[in-house]
């Protein structure tokens, strides 16, 4: 939609945005006094702009105010656009699938991932809606059953006993802030000072093992090692839950550990195996996908 602007407002509009359909959109100048507004309808523009300029008094104040407003409104506007694009391009063309998902879910996979914004399991591993029952926590830690209830093990219980997932994946990653907090924590302090520190101390065994085996390495290298060690510990902690252990032994459930390296986009994967003649479980079958 093209707009013709004149007078005082034109001096500001090329560096700012306008309200459109309830959200702000950036104007692009396409001529001396003409501007392009993308696809949406303009519902409020120049009177509000001009009044704002008069009220604010100076161009600098106006632009700063606008930048602050624009940041938050652009974010929500972008979210709205993404949701509507999802509905138009994904939901409606597969409406039967989504209507079935509205009634029930039967995922085959349970994923425990890190809360880190860069490592969304569905994005990295390509899960579609209904495929993966997912929970994320700081540093993708799973505590043993004797430590009591957590959000993570309650989600595990539901996924395994009710949804009857066939695979459990513990997905860790490189440059994990949670593991860095664990490695940074001073061992001699009795009580960690923050909730994050208290939570990541659940990975203390992996930390101590890492420090013992690789004290000659740099802190960053030790963190990379600890990230992998803590995945293995979480995998082993899974079998402290009898409803997981029994299903692993019968072959109903398979457990995997994954390590996603953000730097080179590779994925290291292990599987939990059991010895049929004993109650021994061990991590094996290492693969690297790159």
CA angle at 8 for the pair 2 and 12, rounded to the nearest 5°: 65
Q: Is 111 helix (H, G, I), strand (E, B) or coil?
A: strand
Q: In terms of CB distance, is 79 or 205 closer to Zn ion?
A: 205
Tokens describing residue 131? 């495929």
| Sign (positive or negative) of CA dihedral 256, 262, 267, 269 | negative
Question: What's the longest Cα–Cα distance across the chain?
Answer: 86
Closest distance between Zn ion and the C-beta of residue 24, in Å? 33
Give φ, ψ of 201 to 5 degrees. Answer: -65, -10
Tokens describing residue 277? 């003649």
Sole binder of Zn ion in the list 116, 229, 233, 268 (CB under 5 A): 116
Closest distance between Zn ion and the C-beta of residue 233, in Å? 15
> According to the binding rule CB under 5 A, does residue 142 interact with Zn ion?
no
- CA pair distance 225, 257, nearest whole angstrom: 14
The piece of 16-24, 62-70, 99-107, 178-186 that touches Zn ion (CB under 5 A) is 178-186
Neighbours of 40 (CB within 10 A): 16
Q: How many residues does the chain have?
A: 290
> According to the binding rule CB under 5 A, does residue 176 interact with Zn ion?
yes
Neighbours of 151 (CB within 10 A): 10
Closest distance between Zn ion and the C-beta of residue 166, in Å? 26
Q: Are 110 and 206 in contact (CB under 8 A)?
A: no
Q: In terms of CB distance, is 137 or 153 closer to Zn ion?
A: 137
Closest distance between Zn ion and the C-beta of residue 121, in Å? 12
> According to the binding rule CB under 5 A, does residue 114 interact with Zn ion?
yes
Q: In terms of CB distance, is 3 or 120 closer to Zn ion?
A: 120
Q: In terms of CB distance, is 9 or 114 closer to Zn ion?
A: 114
Closest distance between Zn ion and the C-beta of residue 134, in Å? 14
> According to the binding rule CB under 5 A, does residue 141 interact with Zn ion?
no
Q: In terms of CB distance, is 16 or 234 closer to Zn ion?
A: 234
Q: Which residues contact Zn ion by CB under 5 A?
A: 114, 116, 176, 178
């Amino acid at each position: 939609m093209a707009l013709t602007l004149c007078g005082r407002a034109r001096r500001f509009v090329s560096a700012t945005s306008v309200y459109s359909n309830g959200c702000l959109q950036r104007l692009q100048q396409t001529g001396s006094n003409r501007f392009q507004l993308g696809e949406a309808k303009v519902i409020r523009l120049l009177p509000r702009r001009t009044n704002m300029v008069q009220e604010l008094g100076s161009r600098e104040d106006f632009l700063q105010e606008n930048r602050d407003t624009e940041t938050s409104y652009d974010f929500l506007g972008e979210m709205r656009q993404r949701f509507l694009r999802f509905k138009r391009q994904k939901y409606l063309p597969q409406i039967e699938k989504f209507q079935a998902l509205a009634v029930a879910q039967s995922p085959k996979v349970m994923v425990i991932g890190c809360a880190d914004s860069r490592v969304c399991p569905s994005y990295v591993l390509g899960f579609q809606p209904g495929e993966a029952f997912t929970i994320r926590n700081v540093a993708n830690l799973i505590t043993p059953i004797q430590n009591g209830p957590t959000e993570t093990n309650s989600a595990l219980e539901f996924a395994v006993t009710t949804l009857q997932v066939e695979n459990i994946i513990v997905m860790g990653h490189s440059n994990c802030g949670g593991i860095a907090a664990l490695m940074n924590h001073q061992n001699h302090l009795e009580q960690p000072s923050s909730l994050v520190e208290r939570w990541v101390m659940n990975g203390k065994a992996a930390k101590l093992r890492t420090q013992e085996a690789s004290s000659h390495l740099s802190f960053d290298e030790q963190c990379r090692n600890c990230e992998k060690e803590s995945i293995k510990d979480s995998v082993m902690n899974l079998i402290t839950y009898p409803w997981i252990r029994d299903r692993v032994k019968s072959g109903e459930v398979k457990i995997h550990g994954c390590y996603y390296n953000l730097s080179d986009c590779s994925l290291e994967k292990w599987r939990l195996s059991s010895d049929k003649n004993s109650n021994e479980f061990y991590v094996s079958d290492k693969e690297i996908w790159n």
